[in-house]
Amino acid sequence: MGIKRGIRKLAKLILESSPEKNVTVNVSQINYGKILENRNIVITGGGKGIGFVIAKKCISEGANVVITGRTEKTLKEATEKLGYNCKYVVFDISKVEEMKKFLSMCEEKFTGKIDSLISNAGISLHENIYKNVTIDGFDKQFNTNLRASYFLAKEYLEYLERYKCENGNLIFISSETGNQCYDIPYGLTKAALNSLTRALSRRVYKNNIRVNAIAPGVTVSDMVKDYVDIDSKNMYRKCASDRVFLPEEIAEVACFLLSDASKCISGEIIHCNAGNHLSVFWE
């Protein structure tokens, strides 16, 4: 608790000392016209944040969606907002021994097989520096962000091959931290996910299965509330882009990657951060 309180105070100090700059963002949408019609898509961690907004976008493009998470109340409220094309499954993805059962539970919610899976569920403890990392915190983040994602992906790819499903699609939600030097668990798990994305794609693309990752920059959600004023309409943040990003922007990219319009894209880490992960000599 002391660490979190310190981070909040530091964030407040930084915000108060920042130059007055107001940044607003308007999200442009591509009107595909039901480009995901009749697709069956599972989104882990879909009850809120980026996962929820991706679910909303997919449904607007004609998909059937199952969102998953650990808290039934959150999932139930989300499905009520998302409408009849959305159902939910309560499941803790850290229970890797039950992945086959989990996919069966999701499949039962659909008429047909699972076409696409978005591995979105993740946690960050925002330790800031390796000195603040605990063994328990390390294990929690690796178990959720990497171990669970790994075995979920393994089970899903085997599921697609077992039922000879064509045009399977797996997307990991990674992070810009996966392409930067990090000494805390969150960034390390995302770096591993990026490597996994590329390797799995090489394994399965010839079987008409695509694997990609989306790596957002700092995006408005509960995960960043300790150091970003998510209630403010001012999107300014001191970084390469001069701003934070909206989950709706990430959802547009996810929709494109899920669609047949991106069939030539696999094994890619699509950074959605205006190049904030890139190094330049003048900064």
Question: Angle, nearest 10°, between helix axes 49-60 and 72-82?
Answer: 30
Is the pLDDT reported for residue 232 higher than 90?
A: no
Is the pLDDT reported for residue 92 higher than 70?
A: yes
* Residue-wise pLDDT tens digits, 175-204: 988 988 999 999 999 999 999 999 999 999
What per-residue confidence (pLDDT) applies to 136? Answer: 98
Q: C-alpha angle 136/138/139, rounded to 5°? A: 65
Is the pLDDT reported for residue 233 higher than 70?
A: no
* Mean pLDDT, residues 225-252 taken together: 74
- 256 and 30 Cβ atoms separated by less than 8 Å: yes
Question: Angle, nearest 10°, between helix axes 49-60 and 247-258?
Answer: 50
- 66 and 118 Cβ atoms separated by less than 8 Å: no
Here the tokens at position 205 are 């693309």
Is the pLDDT reported for residue 1 higher than 60?
A: no
What per-residue confidence (pLDDT) applies to 105? Answer: 97
- 107 and 113 Cβ atoms separated by less than 8 Å: yes
* Mean pLDDT, residues 36-55 taken together: 96
Radius of gyration of the chain (CA): 19
Confidence class for position 277, pLDDT limits 50, 70, 90: confident
DSSP track, 87-107:
EEEE--TT-GGGHHHHHHHHH
What is the CATH code of the structural domain delimited by 18-25+32-272? 3.40.50.720
Mean pLDDT, rounded, of the chain: 88
Rounded CA separation 17/110 (Å): 51
Is the pLDDT reported for residue 234 higher than 80?
A: no
Instruction: Read off the DSSP letter of residue 33.
Output: S
What per-residue confidence (pLDDT) applies to 35? Answer: 93
Confidence class for position 278, pLDDT limits 50, 70, 90: confident
What per-residue confidence (pLDDT) applies to 5? Answer: 60
What per-residue confidence (pLDDT) applies to 177? Answer: 87
* Residue-wise pLDDT tens digits, 109-134: 999 999 999 999 999 999 999 999 99
* Mean pLDDT, residues 26-45 taken together: 84
Q: Give the global pTM.
A: 0.85
